[in-house]
Structure 1
Amino acid sequence: MKKVIKIILGTVLVIALLLIGALSLFVYKVKYGFPVSYETEAPSITFPADQASILLFSKTTGFRHEESIEASKRVFAELAKKNNWFLYETEAGGVFNPEQLAKFSVVIFNNSTGEVINDEQKKALEKYVENGGCLIGIHGAGDDSHHWDWYEANLMGAKFSHHPISPQFQKADIFLDSQADSLLSAQIPPTWSHTDEWYVFFENPRQKGFQVIYRIDGDKINPSGNISFLVKDKNFGMGKDHPVAWCKQTGRGKTFYTSIGHGKQAWENPYFVKLIENVVLWGKNQ
């Protein structure tokens, strides 16, 4: 009998250690991404002379929002056809060189997580924006896995803390901010509803000089990111003024970020799709 008990306890211990190891590995991947090689060879691209060029970059080394990324590619293809854009979609970082970046009107980090480009490529993107380009970040592009000071200061204006756990996805009304650029909100009602994974940040980007476009009432969601005995310091939110989309003038260029877009459902919401279309139109009009 004692032998059976020892076997059972040993099995339980092994399972517990495996679960802890798997969770630790997952947390590390979310926060830092897994090391990968950086693509450095410039791709061969033929840029049409009569179309605005849009770079859709969906590479991930951290958590991958697969359903959202795949759904977004279809939507961007439709928007490109509608607006006569040349859409270049890639997950290879070689395109982040000064010569080719200069030919894009807009660069989109499409749920890109982790460190996806090397230091030289980061510098090229920084100069691209500061010299008049536009960088757009969607949802996972704003998590805390990029470890890039310029990116956090000029795209985010806030440091990611967590997202709600129970429930992870919550429906909320999205309100147009009174100071929002009318081009960004064109053909979108001042209030609309959506269910998403609402990111919580340590700071409000409004306090860093960013223009908030849309916000939710953070007091009307459960923002807690606590996980049983593993995480106990994430039981807070951003309060009533909880931005979910904001922008900034950076040098001669522009940046825009939205925390909306965890799942494919976002790309089925016509108001969110219209917001993204408006942002690209706003970004390419330098």
Structure 2
Amino acid sequence: MRKFGKRILGTLLGVLLVSGATIGLFFYKITYGFPVSYETEKPNIQFPRQKAAILVFSKTTAFRHSESIRASQAIFNQLAKQNNWFIYQTEAGGVFNPEQLQQFKAVIFNNATGRVLNEEQQQALSHYVEEGGTLLGIHGAGDNSHHWPWYEQSLLGTHFSHHPINPQFQKTTVYLEPTASLALTRNLPPAWEHQDEWYVFTGQPQSAQVVAYINGNKIIPNGNMLWIRDKNFGMGNYHPVAWHRAVGKGKTFYTAMGHSQEVWQDASFVRLLENALQWCLN
């Protein structure tokens, strides 16, 4: 019986160790990503004349929003057709070189997570924005896995803390900020219902113009750790979910919405992104 008991105990300990290691590895990947190779070869791109070029970059080395990225591809192609844009979608970082970046009117980090660019490519993107380019970020583009101070400050002006976990997805009302640019709110209702994984940041975005917000008191902000229960870091009833910032001669736009494939069926969410791109091109 003692040997049997020891075997049971050993098995339980083994299961606990494996489970703990698996969970630890999962959270490490979400936060830091895994070592990754950086693509440096310039792609062969034929830029059509008379069309504004937009780069959609969806590379991930941390958590991957696979279904959202996949669903977005058709939507971006549809928007390009409607607006006579040229959309170049890629997950290879070789396009982040000065010569090709300057051909794009806007760069979208479409749920791109983790360390996705090497230092030279990061420098090319920061220079592109500061000299008049535009960077847009969707959902995961604003999490804490990028570990690039310029990027976090320029795109967000705040710092990601966590997202709710129980329940992870919550439906609430998105409100347009009355003082937001008409170019960004055109053809949008003043409020609409939207279900998403709502990001919680450590404070209001600084030096930013809010475009849309939710009432953070109407969602359950609890994260997946005991010490982030009921924490919304003062965001409260004015919890921004879309905003833009001036960066040098350029600008950035970020929306925390966009976790799942279903969001791409929300006409108001898609319209917000279309407005943002039109705003970028003017």
Query: Which TM bucket (shorter chain)?
Result: over 0.9
Hey, what does 1:197 align to over in structure 2?
197
Corresponding residue of 1:41: 41
Partner residue in 2 for 1:210: 208
How far is the alpha carbon of 1:232 from its aligned partner? Answer: 2.3
Alpha-carbon shift at residue 263 of structure 1 (Å)? 0.2
SS of residue in 1 equivalent to 2:194? strand
2: distance between equivalents of 1:116 and 1:66?
A: 16
Residue of structure 2 in register with 1:281 after alignment:
278
1:11-160 → structure 2 map (5 Å cutoff): 11-160=11-160
Runs of 4+ in 1 over 4 A off after TM superposition: none
Output one character per residue of 1:12-53: Cα deviation in whole Å (capped at 9) or x when no partner.
111111111011101111111111110111111111111000
Distance 1:183 1:74 in 2: 24
Q: Answer whether contact 2:222 2:228 (CA < 8 A) is retained.
A: no
- How far off its partner does 1:157 sit? 0.6
Residue type of the partner of 1:8?
I
What do residues 155-187 of structure 1 show as CA deviations (whole Å, max 9, x unaligned)?
Answer: 011100000011011001000112211111111
Gaps of 5+ in 1: none
Asked whether the 8 Å contact 1:55–1:87 carries over to 2, the reply is yes
Corresponding residue of 1:268: 265
Greater Cα shift, 166-175 or 4-13: 4-13
- Name the Cα RMSD after superposition: 0.9
Does the CA contact (< 8 Å) of 1:56 and 1:107 recur in 2? yes
Write the letter of the residue equivalent to 1:232. Answer: W
Tell me the residue number matched to 2:188.
188
Deviation at 1:234, TM superposition (A): 4.8
- Residue number in structure 1 paired with 2:249: 252
What TM-score do the two structures reach when normalised by structure 2? 0.97
Give 1:235 deviation, angstroms: 3.4
Secondary structure in 2 aligned to 1:232? helix
Deviations 1:231-269 (A, max 9, x none): 424530121110000001212211000000000011010
TM-score (norm. length: structure 1): 0.96
Q: 1:145 to 1:234 in 2, by over 3 A?
A: farther
- In the alignment, residue 281 of structure 2 is paired with which amino acid? K
What is the CA–CA distance in structure 1 between the aligned matches of 2:20 and 2:185, rounded to whole Å?
45
| 1:2 CA drift (Å) | 2.0
Count of residue pairs the alignment pairs up: 280
